Structure 1
């Protein structure tokens, strides 16, 4: 048993491509699904503490039960086949044990009764759904249209980015509460009924364009300040320290930067009074672009890349090549950088290297959390 744990620890602490034909690829898939199923059954048992109130209203519990059921079947089936054929049995046994434990705890049949809606919570459900959706979609896209074909799924420093992914999802309740309080306290005076009524009467396409434009203008100048104000760069350098670009790299973000940026971006959205439907559509677009534009995909979109932010546009922003320093700030509309004179000008289509020049940001979530407060300029 101890030997199995040691092998699992070595696997989780390593990086590089998984060898095909040894049961490692299927075993990792089974283990990932088993872990998500186990976390899911905990969320079913304690929804008031482990699920996000804003998301609960949109859930179809019957659909979630079916997703969990088939995930358990798939994870358990893969694990069982690997055990029978002696393929990475230590990995398969761990996945099968988690599926069995999930089933013993009630699995997809756990009843969800009435519960209080004002309890403190962590966003376990948001973590499960986003990890499952992002990994299924973007790993597939990265393999279908790869920019760097030799970059494995488990590339160097993936553990650091995954730890950021976990924390930033789990504290979603704190972030939402803090940003809402700050927005209402700092910008509540600016809300005017007349302007809000005009915005709410806009056709949906016009309102959606306006909310993205307004948010991106704030995002642009906030982002630019992170690069040009030394105190703010201490926070933002953590995000730029990723030396590989993929769907997980965008998760590397200091929690203080997350709070500042979300507060400033949400402020005009609150002041202008956009409808819930428009805000929901904006959130979907933001979520997709935030992951896709960091992904390891060879996408440039021809002339459209001068209008909207693409992976090619944002990869340049993360480059430590000289011509890319302090360039390409926009999150949605690339024309803002061309308008303000901060777009990258290069004869090459893609950058060569990512990260910060000098590579002075330490690796590891805890070290990166402390870094802005202990960093000395070099």
Structure 2
């Protein structure tokens, strides 16, 4: 192959990858929307539909991580594949337990009828669910007794599709129960819960993918992998973006961070030595309980608290302390 032909081939490959980066999100959105439409139209089991969407999203983003990786050094090692596979099996169990708890009391909260159109059910469900999720997530970063639970998710020093499953069971079960009870109390229809649930699942995997997907100005509306990587930064003042579905609440409450084309150098927690290894799942389970059972003075200090340090617990706290100086 001549140098000119090689250049043309390379140029074609770059154009193809650029196209994939820009169409990847609309395509998965279309696929998940179609799945929801078919489930409602054909009377498919909604639980199985949600599970199918999970498998579809994982497979889709795994392929994209090979085609258009954001960071080559964030690809999974064999050891990480095994760990994340175990965690995925466990979150299926945790999620089932959470759903079972919700169903046990749903009869008292669920209304007999719902006259709202489907689009309004979905809109209210997404707004309410994302609001609950935003504040649960933000409080997990701000409140000492909650961070040992949520911090397990932040310990890995990569952000990719599979370590999205690295989550403590307390966080997953409590989050599932809290969000679903709020939506049931509001009176969201079963169809509205399905469509909003499909959107939430899709977004949860999308924001964690190690794919160089671009959504341009939609970053000011939707949570994305471009935004969520900042959330996992161990440079805590830029670790905002607590929303997983939309960015409305981040914008309203001052935690929105968007820096296009910046490839972060480090993700994880500020003090990795204060958490167990992400490969030790049992110690990860036990970690919050150890923290809670310790006397106050013997608990680990997860964050740098000196004002001269840039590493603090929450971006707004950093801004407030800077303004007061």
Could you tell me how far apart the structure 1 residues matched to 2:237 and 2:264 are? 9
Q: Aligned partners of 1:357, 1:126: CA distance in 2, in Å?
A: 38
Q: Report the secondary structure of 2:234's partner residue.
A: coil
* Aligned residue in 2 for 1:225: 139
2:169 match = 255
Partner residue of 1:351?
A: 264
Q: Which residue of 2 aligns with 1:318?
A: 232
Report the counterpart of residue 80 of structure 2 in structure 1: 157
2:145 alignment partner, SS class: helix
Whether contact under 8 Å (1:250, 1:291) holds in the other structure is yes
- Aligned partner of residue 274 in structure 1, secondary structure: coil
Match of 2:283 in 1: 367
Q: CA RMSD in A?
A: 2.9
Return the match for 1:335 from 248, 272, 295.
248
Runs of at least 4 residues of structure 1 off by over 4 A?
125-132, 345-348
The number of equivalent residue pairs is 248
Range that drifts further, 126-135 or 137-146: 126-135
Of 48, 64, 68, the residue aligned with 1:145 is 68
C-alpha displacement at 1:348, in angstroms?
6.1
The superposition leaves residues 317-366 of structure 1 with CA deviations (integer Å, 9 ceiling, x where unpaired) of 111124323x1111111122011111126586342211111113212211
Distance 1:219 1:247 in 2: 20
Work out which structure has the larger RCO, using CA pairs closer than 8 Å and 6 or more positions apart in sequence. 2
Unaligned runs of 5+ in 2: 1-42, 292-298, 302-325
- Following superposition, the deviation at residue 231 of structure 1 comes to 0.5
Q: 1:220·1:329 contact (CA, 8 Å) conserved in 2?
A: yes
CA distance in 1, matches of 2:275, 2:44: 40
In structure 2, the partner of 1:98 is none
Matching residue within 285, 289, 292 for 2:203 = 289
TM-score normalised to the size of structure 2? 0.68
Contact 1:180/1:263 (<8 A) preserved: no
Q: Tell me how far 1:170 sits from its aligned partner.
A: 3.1
SS at match of 2:64: helix
Q: CA deviation at 1:134?
A: 4.4
1:377 to 1:256, Cα distance in 2 relative to 1, 3 A: same
Offset, 1:152: 3.3
Question: Separation in 2 of the partners of 1:288 and 1:347?
Answer: 22
Following superposition, the deviation at residue 132 of structure 1 comes to: 5.1
In the alignment, is the contact (CA less than 8 A) between 1:309 and 1:332 conserved in 2? yes
CA separation of 1:171 and 1:263: change in aligned 2, threshold 3 A: closer
Check whether the contact 2:161–2:205 (CA below 8 A) recurs between aligned residues.
yes
Question: Residue 10 of structure 1 corresponds to which residue in structure 2?
Answer: none
- Structure 2 matches for 1:89-104, cutoff 5 A? none
CA distance in 2, matches of 1:155, 1:306: 36
State how far apart, in whole Å, the 2-side matches of 1:127 and 1:184 are: 19
Superposed counterparts of 1:25-40, under 5 Å: none
Alignment partners' CA distance in 1, 2:198 and 2:51: 17
Alignment check: 8 A CA contact 1:312 1:350 kept: no
Shift of 1:221: 1.0
Tell whether the 8 Å contact from 1:254 to 1:368 is kept in structure 2 after alignment. Answer: yes
Counterparts of 2:49 and 2:134 in 1: how far apart (Å)? Answer: 27
Give the superposition deviation at 1:172.
3.9
CA apart distance, 1:159: 3.0
Q: Compute the TM-score of the two structures, normalised by the length of structure 1.
A: 0.59
Measure, in 1, the Cα distance between the counterparts of 2:123 and 2:198.
14
Q: Is the 8 A contact 1:320 1:357 kept in 2?
A: yes
Between structure 1 and structure 2, the one with the greater Rg is 1
Change (3 A) 1:350 1:204: farther
